């Protein structure tokens, strides 16, 4: 039987996996970053126990990643910062996405019981 803290951490992992794998590869341009941020946060906040999601897609990184005349690139972890707060049975889990050696990692920032 999982503890409440373990279940809250599991829920955080599910939300991060859902966010990243649902939206990675989405076409993005500097003119569409705000609407994509909102869509990502809204979609994940629909899930149980998700109290908040903050997605910041960096316009300058997106612009730098555009490598063709069509004016967009594919969304990757290196273009954004993501934070989430999950609350389950009185346990609050704070998470964030960080880059490590070019790879997006989802990590626990804190678990508060």
Q: Residue 16 is encoded by which pair of tokens?
A: 């991060």
Domain layout of the chain by residue ranges: 4-112
Q: What's the pLDDT score for residue 68? A: 85
Q: Which CATH superfamily is domain 4-112 in?
A: 7,8-dihydroneopterin aldolase (MptD) (3.30.1300.20)
Q: Please state, in angstroms and rounded to a whole number, the distance separating the CA atoms of residues 101 and 4.
A: 32
Q: Which of 54, 52, 53, 49 is nearest to 91 (CA)?
A: 49
Per DSSP, 64 falls in state H
Residues, the chain: 113
Q: What's the pLDDT score for residue 65? A: 97
pLDDT per residue, tens digit, the chain (113 aa), is 999 999 999 999 999 999 999 999 999 999 999 999 999 999 999 999 999 999 999 999 999 999 888 999 999 999 999 999 999 999 999 999 999 998 999 999 999 99
Q: What's the pLDDT score for residue 3? A: 96
Q: Which pTM value belongs to this model?
A: 0.93
Residue with tokens 């341009």: 29
């Amino acid at each position: 039987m999982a503890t409440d803290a373990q279940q809250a951490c599991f829920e955080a992992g599910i939300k991060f996996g859902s966010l990243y794998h649902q939206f990675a590869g989405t076409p993005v341009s500097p003119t569409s970053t705000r609407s994509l941020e909102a869509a990502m946060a809204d979609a994940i906040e629909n899930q149980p126990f998700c109290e908040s999601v903050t997605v910041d897609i960096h316009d300058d990184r997106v612009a730098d990643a555009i490598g063709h005349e069509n004016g967009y690139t594919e969304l990757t972890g290196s273009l954004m910062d993501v934070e989430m707060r999950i609350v389950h049975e009185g346990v609050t889990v704070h998470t964030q996405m960080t880059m490590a050696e070019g790879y997006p990692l989802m990590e626990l920032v804190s678990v508060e019981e």
